[in-house]
Amino acid sequence: MCRYFTIVLYVSLAVGQNEYNVNHIAEKQGLFKKKFSDETVNGRVFKIYGDVKVYLGRIVNGKKESRWVTWKNDGLNKKYEEHYKNGKIHTLITWNTDGKKISNGQFWNDKPYNGSFILEKKVKKGFFSIKKPVLIKIENGTQIRMTWLDYNRRSGVYVLKDSVDCRINECVSEPLWSALFY
């Protein structure tokens, strides 16, 4: 009896795992759905890089769940890693092209709460507004430090510039989550 139960368990696990190409799903009203269908996504999500199938993460009942990894095009270094619970992000880690961790932060109610985050901040330059990268340090939901960054596109490395103490001066005023840059 136990042997039959084990066989049935293995077969149900093998058959029950759906897989979805990331290019064949879309987010609609907070849930991931299969394109050209009303089917709610439930299973593992992958992306094809050349001829390699790379698993990105898992979706349960249309919402991202557990660990999601996005790789740089070279396939050697991670770009960022996100951790989800019930469709809400709770950790974000980003790396530069050298494979060095450049930010690591935690979220509370989908908003940055603790850690460091790379954001884009609009800056006036003459008649135009441009977006510049900035590293924000947050403790218990409060901005502590803001450091301007320069991004070297050739090397893919962020270079630290001027730093501002947010407890003394105003830092990023727009909602942080909408400005996340990764």
pLDDT digit string (tens) for 110-126? 777 888 887 777 777 77
The least confident of 21-25, 29-33, 61-65, 139-143 is: 139-143
From residue 117, how far is each of 17, 20, 25, 68, 85 by CA, in Å? 34, 30, 28, 17, 20
Model confidence at 57, in pLDDT bands (50, 70, 90)? very high
The least confident of 28-32, 83-87, 162-166 is: 162-166
Q: Which one-letter amino acid corresponds to residue 174?
A: E
Q: What is the dihedral of CA 88, 89, 90, 93, to 10 degrees?
A: 170
The DSSP 8-state label assigned to residue 134 in this structure reads E
The pLDDT assigned to 175 comes to 47
What mean pLDDT, rounded, does the chain reach?
Answer: 79
Q: Indicate the SS3 state at residue 2.
A: helix
Q: Which one-letter amino acid corresponds to residue 125?
A: K
Q: What angle do CA 155, 161, 166 make, to 5 degrees?
A: 135
Domain ranges of the chain: 19-71, 90-182
Residue 14 scores a pLDDT above 60: no
